[in-house]
Chains A and B, each alone.
Chain A
Amino acid sequence: MTAFLQQLLNGLSLGSIYALVALGYTMVYGVLRLINFAHGDVYMLGAFAGYYASKLLHGRLNGGLPEAAVILVVSMIACALVGMLIERLAYRPVRRASRLTLLIVAIGVSLLIENLAQIFFGADPKFFPQILPERMFEWRGVLFTNQQILVLATAVLLMAALTLFIRRTRTGKAMRAVAHNPDAARLMGINVNSIISLTFALGSALAAAGGILVSLNQPSIDPLMGLMTGIKAFVAAVLGGIGSIPGAVLGGLILGLAETFVAGYGSSTYRDAIAFFILIIILLCKPEGLLGKGQVEKV
């Protein structure tokens, strides 16, 4: 029983990482219908931004929460700028081209960031500083840390905040309008370019936050850390119903749980295969993802 609970917690912890990254994926997708493959790399940049920020700050603030907060904010801003820059330079020129063109550009940007990062940061892993001291807890034999809880809580909170933002605020609604019909949105007086820029800024800041929170938990960062996480997060987003914010979190958690239980109780050698298999089965039963709304198409 303890082992089961522990695995449940392991799964939630892993899943909340996917969820956190999937949120940004789903946001950008929701607006641009773009699988932003560079998202995973922005997540990596976020972690490195945090790494260098903490090196710079070291000793200037007294550590603890304020220092952690400053590092987090600095990285989020840095990545928001990077996100906007990517959108402006790479995606905007091809926005009206086919979706596949956009996708290829995204893959290109992802490759570019990864390879530049390998050159500038070095290919070997770096230790991410423990900017928030870790504490361990035990409950009925189940062990967990404050950081695991932090990641999970952040994912859920962000999900709620983003959902409210998209549903309730004017800007949020404008985002949805741009997503569905950019030309019509312009007719409504919506500045499509700035909405898209904003979406990227927001998505990238989320990715940065994810990068830092995750690196607290798994304090080894390297230029390719976004590759696998990015793909998994994308899978999670699709599983939950791409474009749906609660879906991203649900998808992430399910993916994390699936991987964990397969590895814990089945065969860890076949972990990825079985986890993907489960996903495929879910998608075959629910073709628009768990919380996705099927594209309404009136004939």
Chain B
Amino acid sequence: GKKGPESNDILIGEFGALTGSIASFGQSTHKGVALAVEEVNAGGGVLGRKIRLITEDDQGKPEEALTAVTKLISKDRVSALIGEFASSNSLAAAPFAQQSRIPMVSHGSTNPKVTQIGDYIFRVCFIDPFQGEVMAKFARNTLKLDRVAILRDIKSDYSVGLADYFTKSFTALGGTVVADESYSAGDKDFNAQLTALKGKTPAAIFVPGYYTEVGLIARQARKLGVHAILLGGDGWDSDKLWEIGGEALNGSYFSNHYSVDNPSPVIQGFVEQFKARYDGEKPDALAALGYDAAKVLIDAIRRAGSDDPKAIRDSLATTQGFAGITGIISLNENRDAVKSAVVLEVKDGKFVYKETVDP
């Protein structure tokens, strides 16, 4: 404790996968969070105090997430927490945050159960049912498709959640899901599943996975002569998607929090700032969510006028109309973000805005 609570900083704990198999996402969100904190500190901090971000690695494992959060709360005495990106890790850690009465803001955990843990748990992203519904509506109403197949990442709760809610909405809208295949994050060969899908002749394939696999899936699909439209969720949002998938992705659609093309100065400013800070790297959805989570939390601290966890929690609960990068964020009575989603089309390396879907 040299820099314990004696020092005047406001302590915020962040936990995420800096190492391990989902480190690419954990590192991305961390960049967003860190950028937000640096920005606030550069602007003089909040309540006249600097913010100190303490980041702990959880290797992407649930029990490590719990350990990390226990450490942050009991050893570092943080006033609030940011994390995790994977719902499974949030679900493992949230009970302790709730029990210790330390507010926790998740940037990317989309499983509805996360915020049900208790009244100290919040999130700034939309939840699986909403996003699944967005794409189902888009496929059915906008693209007028009736035969769609699903290719889900069985290891990811996010992907499974999206696939389930998509199926529900899409069939409710009168469409048919002709096939439901799966893979595991980390796989690199999808030929078997794609060949099987090809036989079912779907008009589109919903692939609610992460860009790490989707690029390859698109490539392999086209090579196998599968020309169905590919649909996906915010897990697609990354520069890497196009880099890996290339032209195979043209004409695909995915739902996202925002469009980088959005001329709004807030968004453009963020993109520029991020690039400047991280060697020209473009922020992906996860980085933007991390940034927003930190900003929402800091805003709550400012409005609370103190770094008392209870006060922060109470002011977090009243977050309304916060203009974040990923949309206008209002937290509802379930402590979930209510915000609209956009559907983007992949076109020659650009993500082109198609439409906005309101909750």
Chain A residues contacting B216 (CB-CB under 8 Å) are 218-220
Contact with A along B230-248 (1 / 0, CB 8 A): 0000000010100110000
B8 within 8 A of A: no
Q: Which of B182, B193, B196, B240 contacts A125 (CB 8 A)?
A: B240
Contact with A along B291-333 (1 / 0, CB 8 A): 0000000000000000000000000000000000000000000
A67 within 8 A of B: no
Contact residues of A between 252 and 275, Cβ < 8 Å to B: 259-265, 268-269, 271-272
CA distance A122 to B24 in the complex (A): 8
Q: Is B240 a contact partner of A127 (Cβ separation < 8 A)?
A: yes
Contacts A143-B224, A218-B216, A224-B186: A268 and B195 contacting too (C-beta < 8 A)?
no
- What is the interface of chain B mostly: helix, strand, loop, or mixed? helix
Return B168 CB to nearest CB of chain A, in Å: 18
Of the candidate stretches A9-17, A57-65, A83-91, the one touching chain B is A9-17
Q: Is B212 a contact partner of A3 (Cβ separation < 8 A)?
A: no
Contacts A115-B19, A136-B223, A145-B223: A264 and B195 contacting too (C-beta < 8 A)?
yes
A169 within 8 A of B: no
Contact residues of B between 1 and 45, Cβ < 8 Å to A: 19, 21, 23-24, 26-28
Contacts A125-B244, A218-B216: A263 and B181 contacting too (C-beta < 8 A)?
yes
Contact with B along A209-252 (1 / 0, CB 8 A): 00000100011101011011100000000000000000000000
Q: Is B24 a contact partner of A263 (Cβ separation < 8 A)?
A: no
Contact with B along A1-42 (1 / 0, CB 8 A): 001001100110110010000000000000000000000000
> What residue of chain B has the Cβ atom nearest to residue A134's Cβ?
B223
B52 within 8 A of A: no
Contact with B along A132-162 (1 / 0, CB 8 A): 0000100000010100000000000000000
Chain A residues contacting B238 (CB-CB under 8 Å) are 124
CA distance A123 to B199 in the complex (A): 36
Q: Is A269 a contact partner of B182 (Cβ separation < 8 A)?
A: yes
Chain A residues contacting B240 (CB-CB under 8 Å) are 124-127
A118 within 8 A of B: yes
> What residue of chain B has the Cβ atom nearest to residue A225's Cβ?
B188
What total of chain A residues lie within 8 Å of the partner, measured CB to CB? Answer: 40
Q: Which of A11, A219, A261 contacts B244 (CB 8 A)?
A: A219
Contact residues of B between 181 and 199, Cβ < 8 Å to A: 181-184, 186-189, 191-193, 195-196, 198-199
Q: Is B192 a contact partner of A227 (Cβ separation < 8 A)?
A: no
> What residue of chain B has the Cβ atom nearest to residue A228's Cβ?
B186
Q: Is A3 a contact partner of B195 (Cβ separation < 8 A)?
A: yes
Return A229 CB to nearest CB of chain B, in Å: 8
B215 within 8 A of A: yes
B117 within 8 A of A: no
> What residue of chain B has the Cβ atom nearest to residue A145's Cβ?
B223
Q: Is B182 a contact partner of A268 (Cβ separation < 8 A)?
A: yes
Q: Is A123 a contact partner of B225 (Cβ separation < 8 A)?
A: no
Q: Is A227 a contact partner of B21 (Cβ separation < 8 A)?
A: yes
Q: Which of B26, B198, B223 contacts A3 (CB 8 A)?
A: B198
Q: Is A7 a contact partner of B189 (Cβ separation < 8 A)?
A: no
Chain B residues contacting A3 (CB-CB under 8 Å) are 195-196, 198-199
> What residue of chain A has the Cβ atom nearest to residue B211's Cβ?
A125
Q: Is A260 a contact partner of B192 (Cβ separation < 8 A)?
A: yes
CA distance A145 to B220 in the complex (A): 11
Q: Is B186 a contact partner of A264 (Cβ separation < 8 A)?
A: no
B219 within 8 A of A: yes
Q: Is B184 a contact partner of A272 (Cβ separation < 8 A)?
A: yes
Q: Which of B23, B183, B192, B215 contacts A123 (CB 8 A)?
A: B23
Q: Is B199 a contact partner of A125 (Cβ separation < 8 A)?
A: no
Chain B residues contacting A272 (CB-CB under 8 Å) are 184
CA distance A263 to B244 in the complex (A): 24
Return B333 CB to nearest CB of chain A, in Å: 36
Q: Which of B19, B187, B223 contacts A228 (CB 8 A)?
A: B187
Q: Is A220 a contact partner of B223 (Cβ separation < 8 A)?
A: no
B178 within 8 A of A: no
Q: Is B21 a contact partner of A10 (Cβ separation < 8 A)?
A: no
Q: Which of B183, B186, B193 contacts A227 (CB 8 A)?
A: B186
Q: Is A263 a contact partner of B186 (Cβ separation < 8 A)?
A: no
Q: Is B225 a contact partner of A143 (Cβ separation < 8 A)?
A: yes
Return A118 CB to nearest CB of chain B, in Å: 6
Q: Is A220 a contact partner of B212 (Cβ separation < 8 A)?
A: yes
Q: Which of B183, B191, B244 contacts A13 (CB 8 A)?
A: B191
Chain B residues contacting A227 (CB-CB under 8 Å) are 21, 186
From B28, B183, B188, name the one whose CB has the most chain A CB atoms within 10 angstroms.
B188
A-B contact pairs, 17 of them (CB 8 A): A3-B198, A6-B195, A6-B224, A7-B192, A14-B191, A14-B192, A118-B23, A123-B24, A124-B24, A124-B28, A124-B238, A125-B212, A125-B215, A125-B240, A218-B188, A260-B191, A269-B182
With A3-B198, A7-B196, A17-B189 given, name 10 new contacts (CB 8 A): A10-B191, A10-B195, A115-B19, A125-B215, A127-B244, A214-B188, A260-B191, A263-B181, A263-B192, A271-B182
B residues with CB within 8 A of A: 19, 21, 23-24, 26-28, 154, 181-184, 186-189, 191-193, 195-196, 198-199, 212, 215-216, 219, 223-225, 238, 240, 243-244
A residues with CB within 8 A of B: 3, 6-7, 10-11, 13-14, 17, 115, 118, 122-127, 136, 143, 145, 214, 218-220, 222, 224-225, 227-229, 259-265, 268-269, 271-272
Closest 8 CB pairs of A and B: A123-B23, A263-B192, A10-B191, A124-B24, A260-B192, A123-B24, A127-B243, A218-B188
